[in-house]
Amino acid sequence: MKIKLPPSSQNWVSLIGATIALICLFMIIFLFVVTVILEQRAAYLGLVIYILLPAVMVMGLILIPIGMFLKVRTIHRQKQEIKRIWPTIDLNDIHHRNAFFVFSIGTAIFLFLSAIGSYEAFHFTESTTFCGTLCHSVMNPEYTAYQNSPHAQVGCVECHVGPGADWYVRSKMSGLYQVYATTANIYPRPIPTPIHNLRPAREVCEQCHWPQKFYAHKIRLETHYLPDEGSTRWDIALVMKIGAAQSALGLIQGIHWHINPDIKVEYIASDETRETIPWVRYTNNQTREVKIYQHRDNPLSEAQLDTMEIRTMDCIDCHNRPSHLYRAPTLFINTAITAGEIPLILPEIKRLCVEICAKEYPSIDSALGQIREVITGFYSDNYPEIVENRKDEIEKAITGLQNAFSHNIFPEMKVRWSAYPDHIGHLEFNGCFRCHNDIHATVEGEVIRKDCDLCHFINAQGNHENQEIALMGQALEFKHPEDIGDVWKESLCVDCHTGLSP
């Protein structure tokens, strides 16, 4: 049977629409085959295949019936046969029959291809490539930090969206504004952390992390380098009390006591970043004992308590930078020196590197250029013999610092360690000391203690060549690398440590 298109399809609008649709279909098939054969996974290629070309193809297909409608209306006007009746389909009429088969077969093929395209489009928009590289300048800091994090093999949507259709829809609705903000160039720099619209940790983190698996103590070795001429190595070995001394005891003690199902810890933060916590409530779910701790200097009134959000503490309140951590210069330089990427043999190298990273630069290119210029100039002016005899080490130091800098500081987006507080620990940010500061107290005078031994104890510390080591089961009192007396006992670490000190 010869298929013949109805006369109404013979118009320029329908012809243009059909041409657009066929060209788009050919391009989609061709590019899809290219991605399969060559294993290309470029973000922009996926955007074209699964989103842009299908949208243009649908527009072309819509033009076909529009053209046919306009053609029929023109014919009717010419014949002055305007009748307000529903259209009829008579399969005994060869024109109707041909149109019906063309429409039915074309629709079936289109729906089949649309199903495949929609499936691929869904997975593409959920991919790490789409999230991290499509808006390169905007997401480059987050994507770079993510690639160097413990969660580098976990997809972005696993944490930022999680399971369930409702949160998927929410994320896409939020993404619409983000697309607009990026297109109009009105997005903030740096991008603020989405604290208030994140899913609860129990719905996301615990899809992989198993809270019922209790961990005991863990040894942690930290290596620091002092800002003296020899960049003296200073080690400290900590026994971290992740849980109780024996894993069989569960979460009755240690850091993860805060998520013990038998207790409930709630708090009120007076700022958007949750850095300032003036009110804490402890509830024992077994005994029903309740304790309320208020900041002695800035307690909340009853009126304030009625209007402020009370949040139940979960994993993300401490692990708030699990994948997008921008480390402070003193930390990433320590790591680079330990890894041998920055030669320790160069005099004053730790102090010099920290001073370079402390400055703010207009762009990453200017920062990398300044790193080379300052390091080269410093050794030329102060250690000419080093320049003459150790050119390779100087070049290695330049490359090492450039790499470390580009993984943690992004001038164009104004992203640096100080922009994103890290609540783990208490060195560069208050972290634990937001509550554990001897200032939060009950009406009876019981305080949330600022006691180092609550979370860890020291079993080794000091100069790498002359360490002080504790006996098994014993702990050492913290010894500051620089002699500052007992000042460290009376103040918080952040009073001196800003990310630019050893």
Which tens digits make up the pLDDT trace of 328-341? 999 999 999 999 99
**Which of 2-6, 107-111, 171-175 shows the lowest mean pLDDT across its residues?**
2-6
Cβ atoms of 393 and 346 within 8 Å: the answer is yes
Kindly state whether residue 210 falls inside one of the protein's structural domains. Answer: no
Does residue 175 have a pLDDT over 80?
no
| CA 104 – CA 217 distance, rounded (Å) | 68
Does residue 482 have a pLDDT over 90?
no
Q: Are residues 139 and 282 in the same domain?
A: no
Q: Are residues 363 and 470 in the same domain?
A: no
Instruction: Look over the chain and give the mean of its residue pLDDT values, rounded to a whole number.
Output: 84
Q: Are residues 34 and 99 in the same domain?
A: yes
The predicted model gives 194-206 an average pLDDT of 79
Predicted local confidence at residue 502, as pLDDT: 62
Predicted local confidence at residue 98, as pLDDT: 75
Predicted local confidence at residue 174, as pLDDT: 74
Q: Are residues 222 and 292 in the same domain?
A: yes
Does residue 353 have a pLDDT over 90?
yes
Predicted local confidence at residue 50, as pLDDT: 65
Say which residue, 418 or 106, is predicted with more confidence: 418
**Tally of domains in the chain:** 4
Predicted local confidence at residue 284, as pLDDT: 94
The predicted model gives 135-145 an average pLDDT of 84
Residue ending a domain, among 170, 198, 226, is 198
Confidence of residue 78 (pLDDT cuts 50, 70, 90): low
Q: Are residues 435 and 341 in the same domain?
A: no
Confidence of residue 400 (pLDDT cuts 50, 70, 90): very high
Predicted local confidence at residue 156, as pLDDT: 83
Predicted local confidence at residue 375, as pLDDT: 96
The predicted model gives 148-177 an average pLDDT of 78
The predicted model gives 200-204 an average pLDDT of 80
Spatial neighbors of 315 by CB under 8 A, at least 6 apart, are 201, 202, 205, 206, 209, 259
Kindly state whether residue 152 falls inside one of the protein's structural domains. Answer: yes
Kindly state whether residue 502 falls inside one of the protein's structural domains. Answer: no
Q: Are residues 310 and 451 in the same domain?
A: yes
The predicted model gives 242-259 an average pLDDT of 84
Instruction: Judge if the upstream peptide bond of residue 384 is cis by omega within 30 degrees of 0.
Output: no
Q: Residue 191: count other Cβ atoms within 10 Å of its Cβ.
A: 19
Q: Are residues 298 and 222 in the same domain?
A: yes
Q: Are residues 315 and 436 in the same domain?
A: yes
Q: Are residues 20 and 53 in the same domain?
A: yes
Kindly state whether residue 204 falls inside one of the protein's structural domains. Answer: no
Does residue 407 have a pLDDT over 60?
yes
Predicted local confidence at residue 118, as pLDDT: 65
Does residue 378 have a pLDDT over 70?
yes
Does residue 103 have a pLDDT over 90?
no
Cβ atoms of 348 and 231 within 8 Å: the answer is yes
Kindly state whether residue 172 falls inside one of the protein's structural domains. Answer: yes
The predicted model gives 362-380 an average pLDDT of 95
Confidence of residue 208 (pLDDT cuts 50, 70, 90): confident
Q: What is the secondary structure of 107-157 as a DSSP string?
A: HHHHHHHHHHHHHHHHHHHTSHHHHHHTTHHHHHHHHHHHHTSTTTTS-HH
The predicted model gives 461-466 an average pLDDT of 86
**Which of 58-67, 78-87, 268-277, 452-461 shows the lowest mean pLDDT across its residues?**
78-87
What's this model's pTM, rounded to 2 decimal places? 0.77
Does residue 193 have a pLDDT over 90?
no
Does residue 275 have a pLDDT over 70?
yes
Cβ atoms of 275 and 430 within 8 Å: the answer is yes
Give Cα separations from 226 to 408, 486, 490, 499 (angstroms): 21, 20, 23, 13
Confidence of residue 386 (pLDDT cuts 50, 70, 90): very high
Structural domain boundaries enclosing 445: 217-322+422-495
Q: Are residues 415 and 432 in the same domain?
A: no
What are the tokens at 204?
A: 């996301």
Q: Are residues 178 and 236 in the same domain?
A: no
Does residue 2 have a pLDDT over 70?
no
The predicted model gives 444-467 an average pLDDT of 89
Predicted local confidence at residue 278, as pLDDT: 94
Kindly state whether residue 263 falls inside one of the protein's structural domains. Answer: yes
Kindly state whether residue 207 falls inside one of the protein's structural domains. Answer: no
Percent of the chain with pLDDT over 90: 35
Residue ending a domain, among 76, 98, 125, is 125
Predicted local confidence at residue 453, as pLDDT: 85
**Which of 178-182, 425-429, 491-495 shows the lowest mean pLDDT across its residues?**
178-182
**CA-based diameter of the chain, in Å?**
106
**Which of 52-61, 70-79, 141-150, 347-356 shows the lowest mean pLDDT across its residues?**
70-79
Kindly state whether residue 501 falls inside one of the protein's structural domains. Answer: no
- Alpha-carbon dihedral of residues 141, 127, 199, 415, nearest 10 degrees? 0
Does residue 440 have a pLDDT over 90?
yes
Spatial neighbors of 435 by CB under 8 A, at least 6 apart, are 267, 277, 280, 293, 448
Residue ending a domain, among 419, 435, 459, is 419
Does residue 178 have a pLDDT over 70?
yes
pLDDT digits 0-9 by tens, 9-56: 778 787 788 888 888 777 777 777 766 666 555 555 666 676 677 778
Q: Are residues 116 and 150 in the same domain?
A: no
Predicted local confidence at residue 39, as pLDDT: 59
Say which residue, 2 or 391, is predicted with more confidence: 391
Predicted local confidence at residue 338, as pLDDT: 95
